[in-house]
């Protein structure tokens, strides 16, 4: 009788637990991975990324050298390059990271983690990866140049006679001497005529 009563009590409770597990997906939900950011999300090979932790990872007790690492991954290579970052006392970390020059245009990824570089503790905090898009560098447009067609000449600039320059030769410098000679001849001739008249009157 005890056995049958025990089963009669446990059966409903077991059924309720089974239904609860089914409603929750069969297992407790896993904790979300911590997050860090990278800016910009679209960059060129050799470009600069700004890294910042959103969720902090303070050092566990006993850690010797608690640091953060960010790996640059592309294709089948999980670590094309990497960089370590110092972690502040409150667990915050970040800085700048230069993307490798050998990245090809397309998808790439940054993966981050906190760990003890001296391996005093086995604790490790893995961050959610950040997806990047690698683009081609922008090409600059060369300046346009203008060339003259073969056989063409550039006309000489026009000159102006206003405000300076040589005037045309009018021959006026020859006219002045001849005019002076004519006047002198007239004066001399008039004097001779006047002297002749006076001589006749005297006789």
Would the pTM of this model clear 0.75, i.e. be above it? no
The number of domains in the chain is 1
Distance between CA atoms of 83 and 60, rounded to whole angstroms?
21
| 65-74, 86-95, 108-117, 181-190: the lowest-pLDDT one | 181-190
- Maximum CA extent, the chain: 204
- Kindly state the average pLDDT of the residues 108-131: 97
Among 58, 65, 72, smallest CA distance to 125 is for 58
**If we measure between CA atoms, which residue out of 137, 117, 131 comes closest to residue 72?**
131
> What CATH number does the domain containing 96 carry?
2.60.40.10
Of 91, 127, 86, give the one whose Cα is nearest residue 109.
Answer: 127
Residue 125 lies in a domain: yes
Is 79 a member of any domain? Answer: yes
Task: Examine residue 120 and state whether it is found in any structural domain, yes or no.
Answer: yes
The answer as to whether 48 is a domain residue is yes
Digit-coded pLDDT (tens) for 75-101: 999 999 999 999 999 999 999 999 999
Range of the domain at 97: 36-135
Any domain includes 100:
yes
C-alpha span between 65 and 88 (Å, rounded)? 12
Q: Tell me, what's the pLDDT at 40? A: 98
End-to-end CA distance of the chain: 204
pLDDT tens-digit readout, 13-65: 555 565 555 555 555 566 799 999 999 999 999 999 999 999 999 999 999 99
Question: What pLDDT does 24 receive?
Answer: 57
Higher pLDDT, 168 or 137: 137
* Nearest-angstrom CA–CA distance, 60 and 115: 10
36-40, 108-112, 159-163: least confident range = 159-163
DSSP 8-state assignment for residue 153: -
pLDDT given for residue 139 in this prediction: 78
Q: 75 lies in a domain?
A: yes
Higher pLDDT, 46 or 144: 46
**Dist CA 28 CA 25 (whole Å):** 8
Cβ atoms of residues 41 and 131 within 8 Å: yes
- How many helices (H) does the chain have, and how many strands (E)? 2, 9
Q: What are phi and psi of 109, to 5 degrees?
A: -150, 145
Residue at 143 is within a domain: no
Cβ-contact 82, 70 below 8 angstroms: yes
Helix (H, G, I), strand (E, B) or coil at 107: strand
- The answer to whether 91 and 56 are in contact (CB under 8 A) is yes
Residue 112 lies in a domain: yes
CA–CA dist 169, 174 (Å, integer): 11
């Amino acid at each position: 009788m005890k056995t049958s009563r025990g089963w009669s009590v446990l059966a409903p409770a077991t059924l309720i637990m089974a239904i609860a597990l089914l409603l929750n997906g069969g297992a407790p939900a896993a904790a979300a991975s911590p997050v860090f950011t990278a800016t910009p999300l679209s960059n060129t090979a050799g470009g600069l990324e700004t890294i910042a932790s959103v969720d902090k990872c303070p050092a566990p007790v006993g850690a010797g050298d608690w640091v953060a690492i960010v790996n640059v991954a592309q294709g089948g290579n999980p670590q094309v390059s990497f960089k370590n970052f110092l972690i502040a006392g409150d667990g915050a970390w970040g800085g700048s990271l230069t993307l490798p020059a050998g990245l090809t245009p397309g998808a790439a990824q940054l993966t981050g983690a906190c760990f003890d570089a001296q391996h005093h503790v086995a604790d490790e905090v893995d961050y959610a990866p950040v997806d990047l898009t690698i683009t081609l560098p922008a090409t600059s447009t060369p300046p346009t140049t203008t060339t003259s067609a073969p056989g063409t000449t550039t006309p000489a600039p026009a000159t102006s006679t206003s405000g300076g320059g040589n005037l045309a030769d009018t021959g006026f410098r020859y006219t002045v001497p001849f005019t002076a000679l004519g006047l002198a001849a007239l004066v001399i001739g008039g004097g001779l005529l006047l002297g002749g008249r006076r001589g006749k009157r005297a006789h």
